[in-house]
Amino acid sequence: MNQLIINSTADSPEVNFDLKSRIFTIGGESRPENAGTFYKPIIHYISNLSFELALTNNETTNSLPLNFIFKYAYFNSTSAKYIADIFKNISELIEKGNVVNIDWYYDKRDEDMLDAGTEFSELFNLKIQLLEY
């Protein structure tokens, strides 16, 4: 499975998903003109992770955690729906026995972003580490 790299723009976040390193980062501003078009390859990549991990069938490698790092500066309500889809897919990865770490970074002055991380954690019953920067 190749890396998924999407460069940030003024309206969309940077994405760097790398199965080899098991680090999946997304961050920046998220208010793309067409959020569905932007987030579709991201959601597709995560939904295919379970299949790809099953193919490797390496007990040592598959016991290593998948590390998802979210560092949004801002996201609009349309993006929130797709971010929720990402968390739904991560939840499914966990249900299939994968070890997953989730870090949600927020600016210490941004209570809304802290609340968003808390809400995603509660909505999907996920352990999300909330980290201020």
Give the domain 4-132 fold: Transcription Regulator spoIIAA (3.30.750)
Give strand ranges (E) for 1-114. Answer: 4-6, 14-18, 23-30, 66-75, 100-106
pLDDT confidence band for 57 (50 / 70 / 90): low
pLDDT over 90 at 63, yes or no? no
pLDDT over 70 at 27, yes or no? yes
Q: How many beta carbons lie within 10 A of that of residue 93, not counting itself?
A: 18
* pLDDT confidence of residue 62: 63
For 58-77, what is the mean pLDDT?
87
pLDDT confidence band for 44 (50 / 70 / 90): very high
* Cα–Cα distance, 78 to 20 (Å, whole number): 31
**Reported pTM:** 0.94
* pLDDT confidence of residue 59: 63
* pLDDT confidence of residue 88: 97
* pLDDT confidence of residue 55: 80
Q: Where are the domains of the chain?
A: 4-132
Nearest CA to 30 among 1, 8, 58, 53?
A: 8
Give strand ranges (E) for the chain. Answer: 4-6, 14-18, 23-30, 66-75, 100-106, 129-132
pLDDT tens-digit readout, 79-118: 999 999 999 999 999 998 899 999 999 999 999 999 999 9
